[in-house]
């Protein structure tokens, strides 16, 4: 179904044995990102991009808590992949041709809970630091280019300013909650994102409406 979709779809994994991160893309995403056939490979190979399959979808949903060693785990995750969010929480750096990017964040940039008080809360705190560090690294290059353009220090037509809009769910959602994918969390993120998109649509339409009066 994903491979037949006209909408570009991309998700990431990390291959344990090789240590390589992969970006799995459908044909629409391959066209959108202008990925060549030479850049496409299979999980475990040297190429950055790999196709979407049942096994790679399963690998992208594989949390390290699930384990990797026993026969059942190897059967369910035959490629030996793990959720790419541990390595890259967001796939942003490839979207350099976009004018505006919305990031719907399941992990808020602010610590929304009380200070950690025990082992389990410390694990949640560690993952919060971990994922936010990955996100900060992912957007740093884009933000630097935006700043250089705004200062006039980067004038090449090969670069442009990209607007980054963060949509963050207003709750703490740690690793032990993620063991059980909660539908309510995704619905909350969807509603927050939809609200943000509708607000932007209204703002964009306002000047046109004002001009008609």
Q: How confident is the model at residue 192 (pLDDT cuts 50, 70, 90)?
A: confident
Which pLDDT value is given to residue 174?
Answer: 66
Backbone angles phi, psi at 191, to 5 degrees: -65, -40
- 188-194: long-range contacts (C-beta < 8 A, 24 or more apart)? 189/104, 189/106, 190/104, 192/104, 192/167, 192/168, 193/102, 193/104, 193/167
Residue 208 has pLDDT above 70, yes or no: no
Which pLDDT value is given to residue 40?
Answer: 97
Model confidence pLDDT, tens digit, residues 118-162: 988 888 888 888 888 888 888 999 999 999 999 999 999 889 999
Residue the block writes with tokens 């629409």: 28
């Amino acid at each position: 179904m994903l491979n037949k979709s006209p909408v570009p779809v991309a998700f990431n994994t990390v291959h344990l044995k090789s240590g390589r991160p992969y970006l799995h893309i459908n044909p629409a995403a391959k066209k959108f990102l202008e990925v060549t056939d030479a850049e496409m490979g299979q999980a475990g190979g040297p190429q950055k991009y790999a196709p979407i399959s049942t096994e790679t979808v399963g690998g992208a949903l594989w949390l390290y808590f699930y384990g990797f060693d026993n026969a059942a785990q190897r059967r369910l995750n035959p490629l030996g992949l793990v959720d790419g969010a541990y390595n890259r929480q967001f796939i942003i750096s490839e979207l350099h041709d976009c004018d505006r990017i919305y990031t719907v964040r399941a992990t808020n940039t602010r610590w929304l809970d009380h200070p950690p008080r025990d082992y389990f809360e410390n694990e949640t705190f560690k993952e919060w630091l971990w994922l936010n560090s990955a996100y900060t690294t992912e957007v740093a290059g884009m933000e630097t280019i935006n700043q250089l353009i705004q200062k006039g220090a980067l004038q090449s037509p090969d670069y442009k300013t990209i607007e980054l809009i963060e949509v963050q769910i207003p709750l703490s959602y740690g690793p032990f909650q993620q063991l059980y994918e909660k539908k309510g969390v995704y619905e909350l993120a969807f509603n927050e994102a939809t609200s943000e998109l509708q607000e932007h649509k209204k703002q964009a339409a306002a000047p046109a409406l004002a001009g008609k009066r």
